[in-house]
Amino acid sequence: MLGAFANAFRTPDLRRKLLFVLLIIVIFRAGSQIPAPGVNVSNVQECLNLAKEGDSAGLYNLVNLFSGGALLQLTIFALGIMPYITASIILQLLVVVIPRLEALKNEGQSGQTKITQYTRYLTLGLALLQATGIVALARSGNLLSGCDTTTYPLLHDDGTATFLVMVVTMTAGTAVIMWLGELITERGIGNGMSILIFTQVVASFPVALWNVGQSQGWWTFGIVIAVGMVIVAAVIFIEQAQRRIPVQYARRMVGRRMFGGSSTYIPLKVNQAGVIPVIFASSLLYLPAMAVQFNQSNDPPSWVTFISKYFVRGDHPLYMIAFFAMIVFFTYFYVSITFNPQEVADNMKKYGGFIPGIRAGKPTEDYLSYVLSRITLPGSLYLGIIALIPLIALALINANQNFPFGGTSILIMVGVALDTVKQIESQLQQRNYEGFLR
């Protein structure tokens, strides 16, 4: 493997691409450490230290994860890549329900370019809304409720001018992140947005591991590392697992040439939905917790008390059951809208393809639906178990909700790493070099 890395850096154009990706990552991480205008850096750090044992950081765990911890530090890249992820998911869902967007998708590259442009516009709109909410919470002192913001104000000035400047700065930071991701896609290796997400997730790993060692002892730290390696191996195994449905294409004459007669397969992954169901479930479970943040009083209503008791911290069994059930539901929901058995069956019939032993048309569609439902069940259970690992760790060893091995972070790390390695492997094989896999 080290020899393959050496071969990659010996190839001039591949070396330039890798170095370009590293340069963008450095710029990205530097922007994640620069505070936004008007932020009182020393007070923010003090409040973060005070809030480590509190519940408030967990409310923004998903957004803070995708920002590499920049959200709660109120930096210029505080929103991270989360607005783009949300916009992409929304557009992907709208393509299914809006005929105009579905027509654009079927137009090929030109239609995809327009959908990408719509995604950018929606990203900026979502970034503006999220930045407004985050800055408003910081100004009111509710961003980190475990800290007394009268003693440690997060902002130097809570005036309107400072508020607007911070909102514009964070929104512009999201636009810059989109641009950096597209630069990696065009001039580097791999998907730019995925690599930026991977960078932010990995950035939080050393701190999370160090906190486990400091708070729970180094024996527990060693156990966490060992369990983490097992989890990573299991995730790699499941992420690579797929059901291959064989497809035969009959010979047909087109003009004076013979086509077809080949055999291929349809790869159906066990985890067909990726990390999207976990993001959906996490986002929905944050809504009641955020509602509690805006309804804090000396005599709160009963529903506020109920949510504060069961749905703010993730170590309660009721929260875990709801989280697991929502992941299973959203896995089936997302797979059903992203893989259309009828469309696949019609395309196979159109080009003379068939599954051995299955008639073309409706029987093929029913067979694909049956197989898809069978492999989606273990995929959904797998996602639910992986997502619960940080919550179980929170309950057992009182770790924080940024527990490194499990949940969204490990799924993103393994998925992006495997995809990037495959792309580097293909680049090496095109140049007749030995790749990563022997």
196 and 221 inside one domain: no
In which domain, by residue range, is 107 found?
1-203
Q: How confident is the model at residue 395 (pLDDT cuts 50, 70, 90)?
A: low
Question: Considering all CA atoms of the chain, what is the largest pairwise distance in Å, rounded to the nearest integer?
Answer: 84
Residue 337 pLDDT exceeds 60: yes
The CB density around residue 186, as the number of other CB atoms within 10 Å, is: 9
Give percent of the chain above pLDDT 70.
77
**Token pair listed for 205:** 């790993």
- DSSP letter at 11 equals S
188 and 63 inside one domain: yes
In a domain, 412, yes or no: no
- Is there a contact between 342 and 365 (Cβ–Cβ < 8 Å)? yes
Residue 59 pLDDT exceeds 70: no
Give percent of the chain above pLDDT 90.
13
DSSP codes of every residue in 137-188:
HHHHT-SSTTS-TTTS-SBS--SHHHHHHHHHHHHHHHHHHHHHHHHHHHHS
Taking the mean position of all CA atoms in its chain, how far away is CA 102? 24
Taking the mean position of all CA atoms in its chain, how far away is CA 258? 45
279 and 265 inside one domain: yes
In a domain, 275, yes or no: yes
Taking the mean position of all CA atoms in its chain, how far away is CA 234? 19
Give per-residue pLDDT as tens, 423-433: 877 777 776 54
In a domain, 137, yes or no: yes
131 and 241 inside one domain: no
Of 167 and 313, the one with more pLDDT: 167
Which of 184, 203, 222 is the endpoint of a domain? 203
The rounded distance, in Å, linking the Cα atoms of 407 and 93 is 23
Q: What pLDDT, on a 0 to 100 scale, did the predictor assign at position 57? A: 44
pLDDT (mean) for 84-110? 83
9 and 49 inside one domain: yes
Q: Which residues pair with 354 in a beta bridge?
A: 248
To 10 degrees, what angle do helices 218-240 and 205-216 make? 140
Grouping H, G, I as helix, E, B as strand and the rest as coil, residue 354 is strand
Which of 182, 203, 224 is the endpoint of a domain? 203
353 and 256 inside one domain: yes
Q: What pLDDT, on a 0 to 100 scale, did the predictor assign at position 58? A: 47
In a domain, 22, yes or no: yes
The rounded distance, in Å, linking the Cα atoms of 81 and 113 is 20
Q: How many domains does the chain have?
A: 2
**Which value, to the nearest 10 degrees, does the dihedral of the CA atoms of residues 157, 158, 163, 166 take?**
40
Q: Sheet containing 263-269: give its strands across.
A: 263-269, 242-249, 353-354
Which range, of 65-79, 190-204, 394-408, averages the lowest pLDDT?
394-408
CA angle 303, 306, 312 (to 5 degrees): 115
197 and 273 inside one domain: no
In a domain, 287, yes or no: yes
Grouping H, G, I as helix, E, B as strand and the rest as coil, residue 275 is coil
| pTM greater than 0.85 | no
Grouping H, G, I as helix, E, B as strand and the rest as coil, residue 39 is strand
72 and 198 inside one domain: yes
233 and 338 inside one domain: yes
> Tell me, what CATH number does 103's domain have?
1.10.3370.10
Per this entry, what is the length of the chain? 438
In a domain, 417, yes or no: no
| CA-wise closest residue to 154 among 36, 38, 44 | 44
Which strand (E) or helix (H) includes residue 393? Answer: helix 362-397
189 and 218 inside one domain: no
Residue 256 pLDDT exceeds 70: no
Q: What pLDDT, on a 0 to 100 scale, did the predictor assign at position 168? A: 93
- DSSP letter at 370 equals H
In a domain, 30, yes or no: yes
Query: Residue 348 contacts by C-beta under 8 Å, 6 or more apart in sequence?
Result: 247, 354, 355, 360, 364
Q: How confident is the model at residue 95 (pLDDT cuts 50, 70, 90)?
A: confident
12 and 141 inside one domain: yes
**Token pair listed for 250:** 């009959």
196 and 215 inside one domain: no
Which of 203, 230, 249 is the endpoint of a domain? 203
Handedness of CA 408, 411, 415, 416 (dihedral sign): positive
In a domain, 399, yes or no: yes
pLDDT (mean) for 362-386? 90
Q: What pLDDT, on a 0 to 100 scale, did the predictor assign at position 345? A: 87
